[in-house]
Structure 1
Amino acid sequence: MAPVSTHTPTLQKLLKSLRDQDLETSIEGLIFLLKRRQVRGDQCANATAHILLQVVAKSKWQSVDRLLELVTSAGSRLVQAAPHEPVIGNIVRRVLGLIRDEASEDRNADELSESVSDLQSLAPVAPPPTSAPARPGPTPITRSLTMPAAGLQVSKSMFNLLSVVDTLDSYSTGASTPVSLAQNNSVHALKSEIIDGIGEIIDEVNQADDQIAGFADIHIYPGDYILAVLPSPAVERYLIKAASRRRFTVLVASPHSQGSGAEQYSALRKKLTSAGVKMISLSTTGLMAYMPKVSKVIFGAKAVFQNGGMLVDSGCCLAARAAQEYSKPVIVLCGVYKFCPQDTATHISWTQLENPSSYVGYDDGETVDTIDIENTLAEYLPPEFVDVYVTNLGPQTQDHLGSIMADHYKPEEMSVQLGA
């Protein structure tokens, strides 16, 4: 059920209202935006992390298992709302792994403190320092307080005697924080650590494009002809960063090379032109004619799977295949949070279809009755067409993807079924 609102909901409005509205309303609000495809791509990762942070902060839980159930339930609902956005499941699994890590560290700290307490309870009472100044001999009163039969070597001083009694009383009574209060403090500390960890994931998502752009000088050289296919925000920052130091030519390929399509990247053109870099717009259908002149092909990925294959915008596969025919390197930009610990064989299809009315008009009734037109929004690209994966951790090859996924996902998270 869509949230009731007098205004059209947006992701910005939703994120601003997370603290003021209840958890269920926030989850339903994001589900509404996902189903309407008002939130796509990188925005899905950011929004999912914010919602899961609210799940941890606002839900009532007293055990780690209960928190894992709550996060899994909320994550499954988000995945069901946008099954073609694998990055949502990635963030959910990252948060689940974070919870397990923080809980494991908390248990290890508790076991260590209990071991220290046991050792302290078994330690004998230290005798008084030998360097203390000698006191007068014991009076008859103090002699009567000694206990030679018990074999206890206790100082004859009344002050030390009272100190020993107080120490023994503290060990015998076990004066400490009540168990219930200790548990509440432990849950509160664990919640704070998990919230801080989710905040770090949000920072990683927000900073990934800038960190990827920092490696632009490694691949782009003066005089290059760079083919950017449907440049994503990460690709745009990558090109702008390279333009600040190098002079090259950018060929931007998009389905529309005229009209509104030509103005889609007007902001990118303005920034590149101000930096002295020439930008040429062309259609994805004419890539083969320009490929002999191209130095490198660059595009962004929506998701990267275990085998190195990826989900890309429609048109990138054509450019990658053309680049392979002409022996041109293909560079893919993607943040580590887009790495999916899943095999594409477990999914029926990652191909996404969209409204084809932007390509063919339906004014003629005969055309509607006789032609079926499919507008592919995203498609799967096999790993053999990619040369380098540029992530926020640096350039990577296909052989190193498995180790990166193993560092960010545990086997428990890889087997979690979301959206089922």
Structure 2
Amino acid sequence: MSAITPEIQSLLDPVVASLKRHQVNGDKEMALSIAQLLMKVISAARWTNTYELIDLMRQIGTVIHRAYPRKVIPGNIVRRVLAIIRDEIETTDENNVPMMSSMFSLLSTSNKQDLQDQKNLPQSKKQTSDMRSIIIQGIRDLVDEISNVNEGLETMSVDLIHDNEVLLTPTPTSDTVLHFLLKARTKRKFTVLVTENFPNDLKQAQVFARKLAEHKIETILIPDSHTYAVMSRVGKVIIGTNAVFANGGCLSSSGVASVVECAKEHRTPVFAVAGLYKLSPLYPFTRNDLIEVGNSGRVLSHDDSELVENVEVVTNPLEDYIPPEHIDIFITNIGGFAPSFIYRIVLDNYKIEDNKLDT
């Protein structure tokens, strides 16, 4: 097993520190910082066999996950890079093994031993150099995908939003939803209802509404309590996501769960927008462990001493888990998919053996 060298540790430490201190602003910035870190690591790493590089990547992934365990995006990027490496190994092996030999190997009982022999087989300097270049190019493509994620999503907005429609979004912190609506405005005229998301996102909701209004979109900022009253007039609910799981469920801003439940009662379609990098191969078995908790003083001010003394626990969850049955379609930068189809997209972008990084 390849260990993390001091040189690689020096690259890793600043990123780990920023994750621990929650100093990375936004999901896209977080994804890009991890991808760029892994590119630097692969440039600096030394290995005699590609499987040693896989071991190193898994170790780095474990360290990054422990720095911010409630965020799945850093782990997603590590697993995407691992998938790039494994795909290249498979391609190389297929090119090197004759077809007849590979057919017989499918029936051979010594496959595991052959794989172990491959892992112990050293590579030439040219093989290592070629592999390094291909993997770095794969990560560059991943960086381009993340950087241009809004452009991929925007192309679908005009087809999904109709003229004179009333839309509601309970995620005013989502930059992706903002770009999605602004793009639709180029060809459609519609009204957007924005919930305040009290107590955590009130200021962001005001900024979000102002940006929409500046682009000639009729925008109304409503209290969270008005959601049920206006839902009968709403044509679509559009939500941003923090993470999308293999079962088709997702994490979104606190308060979204009640909004989509209300939408289900009124049979109002719910569209969730998410970049491909937010899709995770994990399943939300321990949902409470995934939800981040914020400052409880925003829910109940510490100045209200009489109230505080009479309340045992005050919590301020920053996220909600949205079950797949409350979402009609996920809009991603590679197309729109039903929640039940998300697992197929996950299988196309991740390898099952990397679902658990610390084993």
TM-score range normalised by the length of the shorter chain: 0.7 to 0.9
Q: How well do the aligned residues superpose, as a CA RMSD in angstroms?
A: 2.4
- Tell me the distance in 2 between the aligned counterparts of 1:346 and 1:411: 19
Task: Note the alpha carbon deviations across 1:84-143, whole angstroms, 9 max, x for none.
Answer: 11122111111111111112323444557xx9xxxxxxxxxxxxxxxxxxxxxxxxxxxx
- Aligned ranges 1:267-306 → 2 under 5 Å: 267-306=207-246
The Cα shift of 1:29 comes to: 1.2
Q: Which residue of 2 aligns with 1:238?
A: 180
Task: Note the alpha carbon deviations across 1:252-279, whole angstroms, 9 max, x for none.
Answer: 112249xx96552455444433432111
**Which of the numbers 186, 207, 232 marks the counterpart of 2:148?**
207
The Cα shift of 1:348 comes to: 5.8
Instruction: State the TM-score, normalized to the length of structure 2.
Output: 0.85
User: How many residues in Structure 1 have an aligned counterpart in Structure 2?
Assistant: 329
- Judge conservation of contact 1:211–1:392 (CA < 8 Å) in 2: yes
- Judge conservation of contact 1:307–1:383 (CA < 8 Å) in 2: yes
The 1:401/1:296 distance shift into structure 2, 3 A limit, reads: same
- Tell me the distance in 1 between the aligned counterparts of 2:267 and 2:159: 19
Letter in 2 for 1:44: M
Q: Which residue of 2 aligns with 1:311?
A: 251
Q: Which residue of 2 aligns with 1:339?
A: 279
The 1:221/1:283 distance shift into structure 2, 3 A limit, reads: same
- Aligned ranges 1:368-387 → 2 under 5 Å: 368-371=308-311, 372-387=313-328
- Judge conservation of contact 1:225–1:294 (CA < 8 Å) in 2: yes
SS of residue matched to 1:297: strand
Q: Which residue of 2 aligns with 1:52?
A: 38
- Tell me the distance in 2 between the aligned counterparts of 1:268 and 1:379: 20
Choose 32-41 or 289-298, whichever is displaced more.
32-41
- Tell me the distance in 2 between the aligned counterparts of 1:396 and 1:334: 11
SS of residue matched to 1:276: coil
Gaps of 5+ in 2: 1-5, 102-121
Q: Which residue of 2 aligns with 1:26?
A: 11
- Tell me the distance in 2 between the aligned counterparts of 1:202 and 1:310: 23
- Judge conservation of contact 1:252–1:279 (CA < 8 Å) in 2: yes
The 1:255/1:271 distance shift into structure 2, 3 A limit, reads: closer
- Tell me the distance in 2 between the aligned counterparts of 1:316 and 1:184: 53
Letter in 2 for 1:60: R
The 1:303/1:63 distance shift into structure 2, 3 A limit, reads: same
**Which of the numbers 29, 50, 59 marks the counterpart of 1:64?**
50
- Judge conservation of contact 1:106–1:190 (CA < 8 Å) in 2: no
The Cα shift of 1:47 comes to: 1.6
- Tell me the distance in 2 between the aligned counterparts of 1:306 and 1:225: 31
Q: Which residue of 2 aligns with 1:177?
A: none
- Tell me the distance in 2 between the aligned counterparts of 1:237 and 1:209: 7
**Which of the numbers 69, 79, 97 marks the counterpart of 2:83?**
97
1:218 equivalenced with 2:159 (yes/no): yes
Look at both structures and tell me which one has the larger radius of gyration over its CA atoms. 1
- Tell me the distance in 2 between the aligned counterparts of 1:306 and 1:403: 8
Letter in 2 for 1:317: A
Gaps of 5+ in 1: 1-20, 116-180
Q: Which residue of 2 aligns with 1:402?
A: 343
- Judge conservation of contact 1:248–1:277 (CA < 8 Å) in 2: yes
Task: Note the alpha carbon deviations across 1:280-313, whole angstroms, 9 max, x for none.
Answer: 1112232112111111101111111122111111
The 1:209/1:368 distance shift into structure 2, 3 A limit, reads: same
The 1:319/1:244 distance shift into structure 2, 3 A limit, reads: same
- Aligned ranges 1:9-158 → 2 under 5 Å: 22-39=7-24, 40-111=26-97
Letter in 2 for 1:73: Q
